[in-house]
Amino acid sequence: QVQLVESGGGLVQAGDSLRLSCAVSGGTSSTSTMAWFRQAPGKEREFVAAIFRGSRSYYGDSVKGRFTISRDNAKKTVFLQMNSLKPEDTALYYCALDNRLILSSIRGPIHYDYWGQGTQVTVSS
């Protein structure tokens, strides 16, 4: 059984940086697709970033150039480095994983089988 546990969220000021971590346990491999999504109150869950089958990275338009996704296969951990944070980045951030995803589906939360509980990021102006 796959379990994902996020950490690293917090309250920061605009312009600050944060690094989120997602520890993975269970049935995964280096070719699993790992992703970060976020959801603000009253809004739909939004794609942030993904590493597709352990190789290429993809980003949502609103975070491109500011956020970086990476993974440490040995530690089975995925990271999201967030720089130049803005108040509109405030949301609950979720880690997600799927072992059979195709590239055209990476931005759709419905396609991911496994989710963490989320970690809150709040950016004050």
**What are 31-82's pLDDT values in tens digits?**
789 999 999 999 999 999 999 987 899 999 999 999 999 998 888 899 999 9
Mark 21-34 as b/e (b = at least 16 C-beta within 10 Å).
bbebeeebeeebbb
Give the model's pLDDT for residue 31: 79
pLDDT reading at 97 higher than 90: yes
Q: Which residue has the higher pLDDT, 123 or 28?
A: 123
8 A C-beta contact, residue 109 and residue 47: yes
Question: d(Cα 63, Cα 68) in Å, to the nearest integer?
Answer: 9
Is residue 105 within 8 Å of 90, Cβ to Cβ? no
Q: Give the separation between CA 107 and CA 18, rounded to whole angstroms.
A: 22
Q: How many other C-beta atoms are found inside a 10 Å radius of the C-beta of residue 77?
A: 17
User: Percent of the chain, pLDDT > 90?
Assistant: 85
By three-state DSSP, how is residue 29 classified? coil
Q: What is the mean pLDDT of the chain?
A: 95
